[in-house]
Amino acid sequence: MITNAAGTRHIIIELRQQAHYWQALHIRAIKREVAWKKRALEAETNVSDQTVELVEKYQQIEALKAKIVWLQQQVFGRKTDQINNPARDSRSGDQKDPKYSETPDKKRNRGKQPGAKGYGRKLHPDLPTEEVDRDLPQDEKHCRICGKPYKEFPKTEDSEEIHWEVRLVRRVYKRRRYYSTCDCKGTPRIVTAPIVPKLVPKGKFSTGFWAQLILEKFLFQRPLYRIRKALAMEGLSISQGTITGGLKRIGEVLQPLYARILERSRTAKHWHMDETGWKVFVEIADKIGFRWWLWVIVTRDTCVYLLDPSRSARVPRDHLGENAKGIASVDRYVAYKKLSKNIRLSYCWAHVRRDFIRIWRGYKTLQPWSRAWIKRIKNLYRLNKDRLQVRSNIEEFRKKDLLLGEAIALMEKKRAQQLTNKTLHKTQRKVLESMSRHWEGLTIFVDHPDIPMDNNEAERRLRTPVVGRKNYYGNNSVWSGMLTAALFTIIQTLLKNHINPKKFLIAYFDACAENGGKPPDNLDSFLPWNMSDEQKANFHFLEHPP
């Protein structure tokens, strides 16, 4: 019995030991499983984090590549918004991808096409004519065989050429003098013909000289040192101080004319606005650097330039005044959004199109998407042009207007659909959200056919100053900067009204000279919108102004 009991206890102890052993193995297995799952979860988390980080890095690299393409385009590329030109500059990084290209058409040459009927040679009968006699050499006036002389025809055979001659003339006015032959008291003994009126009293340059010099700098954008070199080649040496002093005096007589143009601009109901940088090398308190801003405000018959140290909304707001009411065609610069509440903003479709062009150039994977939007915008331009061509036909205009409205609605629907896509690239989303925010201003042209779809008018009017900025690099004083803005305004307003600025300036300066070097009393007669057709003809009305 004892033996049996001991054996049973031994078996029980052995079973317990085996149970503890397997239990310990099970516990260790569970711990290993938990540890493995923990490591797997951590690894999965690390992989997920690394994937997110890699995606972010890739997007940053993609954005930087797009930035490089844009910068290369700005520095080396052609300044054009066209994207289907196969002959692009390879340096710009803007090569055409055949996979996403439209069907390439042969580029149309500029000007008259081969086979088209010409207009014939223009004779220019208004130019002064100088007849030059051309004769045969003396040894060719007889027959070479028999030696008999040739007999001259009664009429000549004429040919012509246009000669360009720059000529400086020194005018000496011989003022006649008379002496009295009577003994009357109170009368001068010697009487002399009056002095020729001059724009700058006691100056030595004529009104025509000053008019030409002003056009050379402020229309053709030649710096003064280069103008002086050109004059020196013609035999006239003139100091910089003499020209600068004369321009400062001339600025005073032009200021009233500039002020009248500003007043006219304020009375308009539609304005094109834009701005560009301009250097004025004058230190101003609380301002760092010398960068000022040249603003342009274009209306139907005026083109105003304002020079100011600030790029804030204060500049156009001060110009238009508190009671201004109308529509302003602008880009999406934030300052324009702070204009008067009575001014509606018509945003520029050309700038929206450039957003998609920038994506097309910088992101190859997004080229099909961006090209589709560029086509939609092109279609809007075409539909708007079609309806404007039939404005005189009410029924046709209504049909074309409906087509334009449908295209606008489809574009709005497409934009909303794409914004709901959660996988949309952030660059795509940014452009579409910008379009959505500015949609009201982008569609003003639909209900107001007189309002253009873009702000190209203002941008074109800034081209001339930008050329000047590159040539003479701004201004060295505030008064010269203000004179620059005034002369840009006067000249471009004259061109906008098809008036030859040279003839106008000579007439205006002559009137100032007759008035003792002061602005004429009849200033209103020199304003283009007050001129009759006959008056414009006197200033050589230009059919196609530059």
219-235: per-residue pLDDT in tens? 999 999 999 999 999 99
End of a domain among 446, 461, 476? 461
Q: What digits encode the pLDDT tens for the residues 148-194?
A: 898 888 889 888 888 888 889 999 999 999 888 888 888 888 899 98
pLDDT at 114 over 90: no
Q: How far is CA 44 from CA 36, 39, 49, 50, 285, in A?
A: 12, 8, 9, 10, 59
Are 387 and 527 found together in one domain? no
pTM: 0.80
Give a yes or no: residue 83 inside a domain.
no
Direct distance between the N- and C-terminal alpha carbons of the chain, in angstroms, rounded to an integer: 132
Inter-axis angle of helices 394-419 and 367-388, nearest 10: 160
The answer on 413 and 340 residing in a single domain is: yes
The CA-atom distances, in angstroms, between 312 and each of 297, 325, 398 are 15, 20, 41
Residue 305 domain-assigned? Answer: no
Residues 98 and 364: beta-carbon distance below 8 Å:
no
Q: Does residue 18 lie within any of the structural domains?
A: yes
Asked if 274 and 455 count as a contact pair (C-beta separation under 8 A), the reply is yes
Q: Does residue 391 sit in the same domain as residue 413?
A: yes
Number of C-beta neighbours around residue 197 at 10 A? 16
pLDDT digits (tens, 9 = 90+) for 428-453: 999 999 999 999 999 999 999 999 99
Residues 437 and 330 in one domain: yes
Q: Is the pLDDT reported for residue 293 higher than 90?
A: yes
Residues 218 and 290 grouped into a single domain: no
Do 194 and 335 share a domain, yes or no? no
Note whether 368 and 379 are within 8 A (CB).
Answer: no
| Cα 405 from Cα 446, distance rounded (Å) | 7
Do 341 and 425 lie in a common domain? yes
For residues 323 and 443, membership in a common domain is answered with yes
Predicted confidence band of residue 272 (pLDDT cuts 50, 70, 90):
very high
Domain boundary pick from 461, 482, 508: 461
Q: Does residue 71 form part of some domain?
A: no
* Whole-angstrom distance, CA of residue 224 vs CA of residue 229: 9
Examine residue 63 and state whether it is found in any structural domain, yes or no.
no
What's the mean per-residue pLDDT of the chain?
A: 87
C-alpha distances in Å from residue 175, one per residue of 112, 144, 207: 55, 59, 19
Rg for the chain, CA atoms, rounded? 39
Quick count: other Cβ atoms within 10 Å of Cβ 376?
17
**Closest alpha carbon to 273 in 293, 292, 297, 304:** 297
Domain-embedded: residue 271: no
Inside any domain, residue 261: yes
pLDDT of amino acid 351: 95
Residue type, 142: H
The mean pLDDT value for 28-32 works out to 80
Question: Pick the residue with more confidence: 363 or 41?
Answer: 363
What is the reported pLDDT for 49? 66
Q: Do residues 323 and 432 both lie within one domain? A: yes
What domain range is 355 assigned to? 284-298+313-461
pLDDT at 15: 74
Co-location of 409 and 422 in the same domain: yes
Q: Are residues 439 and 291 located together in one domain of the fold?
A: yes
Name, in order, each residue with C-beta under 8 angstroms of 73's C-beta and a sequence gap of 6 or more.
92, 93, 94, 361
Cα separation of 328 and 315, whole Å? Answer: 14
Angle at 490 between CA 249 and CA 124, to 5 degrees: 110
| Nearest residue to 318 (alpha-carbon basis) of 306, 329, 326 | 306
The residue that leads in pLDDT, 398 or 118, is 398
Residue that is last in its domain, among 461, 482, 502: 461
Task: Specify the DSSP class assigned to residue 182.
Answer: S
Q: Are residues 231 and 321 in the same domain?
A: no
Beta bridge partners of 346: 329
DSSP state of 76: T
Q: What's the number of domains the chain is made of?
A: 3
